[in-house]
Structure 1
Amino acid sequence: MDIQAFLTDFRHLSTIGATANNGVDRQAATAEDQQSRHWFAARAEGLGYPVKVDGIGNMFALLEWTPGAPFVLIGSHLDSQPLAGRFDGAYGVLAALHAAKTLQEEIAADLSAGGAAPQFNLAVVNWFNEEGSRFAPSIMGSSVFAGLMDQEQMLAVKDHQGTTVREALDSIGFLGGDERPEVAGYAEIHIEQGRILERGGITLGAVDRSWYTQKLDIEVLGEQSHTGATAMADRHDALTAAAKIILMVEAVTRDYEEEALVSSIGQMFVEPNSPIVVARRVRLVADLRSDSKEIVQGARSTLLEKIANLATEHNIRINVADFDIRPHRHYPEDGLVLAEKVAAELGISVRRIRTMAGHDSTALNTMAPTVMMFIPSVDGVSHCEREFTEDKDMVAGLQALTEVARHMIQGVLEA
């Protein structure tokens, strides 16, 4: 395993879409995403792996030892949030690419010595639009792949400027049509995006389940009027009501034990967004997450009641729609045992951990045996230019992914 080559590739990839404060901005199907995709394809093809692109823009670099056999997929995503960190997603894709290179070299040597080919083939994957910042919902490419979302519906999704996913993918040359590989299993390595591993001094997290999550699409409809000429009593200010909703979404977490529920408003659009016009329309997206389905549903009910009362108080209309509801996903016990076994063999510390964030693995876990692993995030910071993980932890995660993939292509986690 060429560790220095891995670190060099990671640092080079971090220059694509680089921001002034050492982060990246590579939102899905933008010019920066296109550049990272071309780099990935060139790097994979340079290693001898043909690259296929499916109808939702997922990229697969294929290593085939056993013609006709299914593939173990390893990877993550190259797209990012705006002004994001350079580790989220990209680390997992590069780790997968270098794990594949190591396994390719070792298996070639085994075959030359008369050994048998692996039971399964291997594919390195870059999933489309995991982040969901430009096009909602998130985890789009892997969810379409897993049959959880309809491809045509997702291709019709528009960003806030009216561009569809189909148009955006076509504009960067990645609206593919290749056949999708048959899947035998999936493995992903990712930064934790939290502080549990760092606080515990632990190198590897074996993810056993994901949190229950759901979003609320909130549309506040007031009346446009002059900020200077309209009497306060005559206003129907959508933005004032929206500001109160933002505080409600934050305050509802205090109805439960500390950290039992996390919630936020991460996106807001104001119309007409003029300094001398009272807002007529505000669109908000609220995100509710907990390890308890009942807590999320309870918080949702509380918010719906308070928002209805607010609409009456302000004499405006507020529409609330549920979307992007994600149930708990439990990862297979055999995969957890495998990750723990690999950690023991490598001499690194490991613990089981839950993921509060969504990942492509949560979609793949519904269709094939899946292993999800975390490495530490410094200060737990993510979706931020300050996001950081130390080289030693990235290398340990690369080694763990390589060994997990080695076992999986030999059929250790057959469904």
Structure 2
Amino acid sequence: MSDATFLTDFHHVAAIGATENSGVERQAATEADKATRDWFAAFARERNWEVRVDGIGNMFALIELVPGAPYILLGSHLDSQPLGGRFDGAYGVLAGLHAAERVAESLAATDTIPVFNLAVVNWFNEEGGRFAPSIMGSSVFAGLMDQEKMLAVKDLAGTSVAQALEAIGYLGTDERPDLAGYAEIHIEQGRILEREGITLGAVDYSWHTQKLDIEVLGEQSHTGATAMADRHDALVAASKVVLLVHDVTQKFAPEALVSSVGQLTLEPNSPIVVARRVHLVADLRSASPEIVAEARASLLADIAQIAQEHDIRINVNDFDVRGIQYYPEDGLELTEKVAANLGLSVRRIRTMAGHDSVAMNRIVPTVMMFIPSVDGVSHCEREFTTDADMVAGVKALESVAREMVNGALAPIDSTEQELSKAGAA
């Protein structure tokens, strides 16, 4: 397949759920998400690839090259954040489909029999915008999350994952493929590659992530009739918590820690009622688990002080804790080899964001690659990557996939895998 065909397909998919400002609105298990899933399935079936949908909504397009052999899996996700960018996730799925077809065609043309089969995946709910936590589909696949618990997760409107998937026709029952490896390509979502003028990033490790589920409980009362001294305003206290989460980064070296509160809901959310309850999620990330632990302890102490000052209750629980994951050295060297053969500049780079590859790296040899993001902008409509960089990334993924189906990466050592899991617990 040509580069032009890839670009045509990419920009077609980007039109599904498109927003006025060149972004996309395709939250998990919505009608727009269904439309991209239908497109994925049609792409595969037009090529006589088998399509499977598992019990958490992950979609697989399977290319059987060696009957009975496990699969090398390529892909990412097609769901987006609210008012998200058209590149995040979707690029990796489209690149996977086109890279897989190119590899399959070249093997057929040369009568080459590889070691492994080839497949492409569209993971369910990587973004976590509608259903928390994020990276849900791949984590269930990898055994890191319980499928039944995830199917029971509800969005803010009270719809469960199972109900939403069933409504769009993608609550599957198909058997999951047996894997021998995984490769994913993604936009960087940072500005390192762009700043340094480098085309390809070989991801060597992920940052430690710690989220806090915070519930602020005050007392509902009339905004006009209640004296200020008699109020127990959950929103005022929650606002101070939001600032604490932001300001905790200042206790450490610049860029050593990032933090945010990205979601906040309040009850009863009336303009003439003092809020009785506010729920928010704090997100702490660093290359150092010790820094995250120190920031967490600092926040817990300061939050307890706020609760005392406002005579309210604040409950804080750990949520979605993910340890550092190191990607296999063989995979890094493979990416560097591929880049050299293609004449692409390359450097090793860490990922501060979570990706499906972080979950898959726990169970199979995994390669993660980045291409540049203009201005480092992500999770918004302004997100952008050039056609030239996307095309270069597809060629890199194609080369990596060709090497992997021919047995380029060694299986993960079981002892190393258990140590990795223990470190991430």
For residue 280 of structure 1, what is the aligned residue in structure 2? 276
Q: Return the alpha-carbon distance in structure 2 between the equivalents of residues 275 and 298 of structure 1.
A: 38
For residue 352 of structure 2, what is the aligned residue in structure 1? 356
For residue 269 of structure 1, what is the aligned residue in structure 2? 265
For residue 316 of structure 1, what is the aligned residue in structure 2? 312
Q: How far 1:103 sits from its partner (Å)?
A: 1.0
Instruction: Please give the per-residue CA displacement for 1:36-67, whole angstroms capped at 9, x wherever unaligned.
Output: 10011101111221110000000000000111
Instruction: Map 1:103-122 onto structure 2 (within 5 A).
Output: 103-111=103-111, 116-122=112-118
State the SS of the aligned residue for 1:40: helix
For residue 295 of structure 1, what is the aligned residue in structure 2? 291
Moved over 6 A (4+): none
Report if aligned partners of 1:79, 1:130 keep a CA contact under 8 Å in 2: yes
Q: How far 1:414 sits from its partner (Å)?
A: 2.6
Matched, 1:70 2:64: no
Instruction: Map 1:205-224 onto structure 2 (within 5 A).
Output: 205-224=201-220
State the SS of the aligned residue for 1:301: helix
Instruction: Map 1:358-373 onto structure 2 (within 5 A).
Output: 358-373=354-369
* Among 136, 140, 144, the residue aligned to 1:144: 140
* Among 367, 377, 396, the residue aligned to 2:392: 396
Q: Which amino acid aligns with 1:359?
A: H
Report if aligned partners of 1:213, 1:289 keep a CA contact under 8 Å in 2: yes
State the SS of the aligned residue for 1:94: helix
For residue 90 of structure 2, what is the aligned residue in structure 1? 90
Instruction: Please give the per-residue CA displacement for 1:254-275, whole angstroms capped at 9, x wherever unaligned.
Output: 0001110000000000110000
For residue 189 of structure 2, what is the aligned residue in structure 1? 193
Instruction: Please give the per-residue CA displacement for 1:303-325, whole angstroms capped at 9, x wherever unaligned.
Output: 00000010000000000010100
State the SS of the aligned residue for 2:20: coil
Q: Return the alpha-carbon distance in structure 2 between the equivalents of residues 305 and 400 of structure 1.
A: 48
Aligned residue pair count:
411
State the SS of the aligned residue for 1:368: coil
Matched, 1:80 2:80: yes
Q: Which amino acid aligns with 1:52?
A: R
Q: How far 1:108 sits from its partner (Å)?
A: 1.3
* Among 239, 242, 250, the residue aligned to 1:254: 250
Q: Return the alpha-carbon distance in structure 2 between the equivalents of residues 196 and 237 of structure 1.
A: 43
Report if aligned partners of 1:54, 1:177 keep a CA contact under 8 Å in 2: yes
Instruction: Please give the per-residue CA displacement for 1:189-224, whole angstroms capped at 9, x wherever unaligned.
Output: 000000110010000000000000011000000000
State the SS of the aligned residue for 1:259: coil
Q: Return the alpha-carbon distance in structure 1 between the equivalents of residues 21 and 4 of structure 2.
A: 24
Report if aligned partners of 1:184, 1:414 keep a CA contact under 8 Å in 2: no
For residue 421 of structure 2, what is the aligned residue in structure 1? none
The answer for unaligned runs of 5 or more in structure 2 is 412-425
Q: Return the alpha-carbon distance in structure 2 between the equivalents of residues 361 and 11 of structure 1.
A: 24
Q: Return the alpha-carbon distance in structure 1 between the equivalents of residues 266 and 22 of structure 2.
A: 30
Instruction: Please give the per-residue CA displacement for 1:291-336, whole angstroms capped at 9, x wherever unaligned.
Output: 0000001000000000001000000000001010000000000000
Identity among equivalent positions (%) equals: 72
Report if aligned partners of 1:185, 1:414 keep a CA contact under 8 Å in 2: no
Q: Return the alpha-carbon distance in structure 2 between the equivalents of residues 414 and 16 of structure 1.
A: 39
Q: How far 1:107 sits from its partner (Å)?
A: 1.2
For residue 7 of structure 2, what is the aligned residue in structure 1? 7
Q: Return the alpha-carbon distance in structure 1 between the equivalents of residues 381 and 248 of structure 2.
A: 28
Q: Return the alpha-carbon distance in structure 2 between the equivalents of residues 402 and 117 of structure 1.
A: 17
CA RMSD across the alignment: 0.6
Instruction: Please give the per-residue CA displacement for 1:62-82, whole angstroms capped at 9, x wherever unaligned.
Output: 000111000000000000000
For residue 423 of structure 2, what is the aligned residue in structure 1? none
Instruction: Please give the per-residue CA displacement for 1:173-199, whole angstroms capped at 9, x wherever unaligned.
Output: 000010000000000000000011001
Q: Return the alpha-carbon distance in structure 2 between the equivalents of residues 110 and 182 of structure 1.
A: 26
State the SS of the aligned residue for 1:322: strand
Q: Which amino acid aligns with 1:407?
A: E
Q: Return the alpha-carbon distance in structure 2 between the equivalents of residues 212 and 105 of structure 1.
A: 40
Matched, 1:203 2:203: no
Q: Which amino acid aligns with 2:275?
A: A
Matched, 1:239 2:235: yes
Q: How far 1:160 sits from its partner (Å)?
A: 1.0
Instruction: Please give the per-residue CA displacement for 1:78-136, whole angstroms capped at 9, x wherever unaligned.
Output: 0000000000000000000000111121111112xxxx411100000000000000000
State the SS of the aligned residue for 1:323: strand
Q: Return the alpha-carbon distance in structure 1 between the equivalents of residues 246 and 156 of structure 2.
A: 25
For residue 376 of structure 2, what is the aligned residue in structure 1? 380
Q: How far 1:18 sits from its partner (Å)?
A: 0.5
For residue 35 of structure 1, what is the aligned residue in structure 2? 35
State the SS of the aligned residue for 2:110: helix
Instruction: Map 1:56-67 onto structure 2 (within 5 A).
Output: 56-67=56-67
* Among 164, 167, 172, the residue aligned to 1:171: 167
Q: Return the alpha-carbon distance in structure 2 between the equivalents of residues 53 and 226 of structure 1.
A: 51
Q: How far 1:348 sits from its partner (Å)?
A: 0.5
Q: Which amino acid aligns with 2:108?
A: A
Q: Return the alpha-carbon distance in structure 1 between the equivalents of residues 300 and 153 of structure 2.
A: 26
- Give TM-score, length-normalised by structure 2: 0.96
Q: Which amino acid aligns with 1:298?
A: E
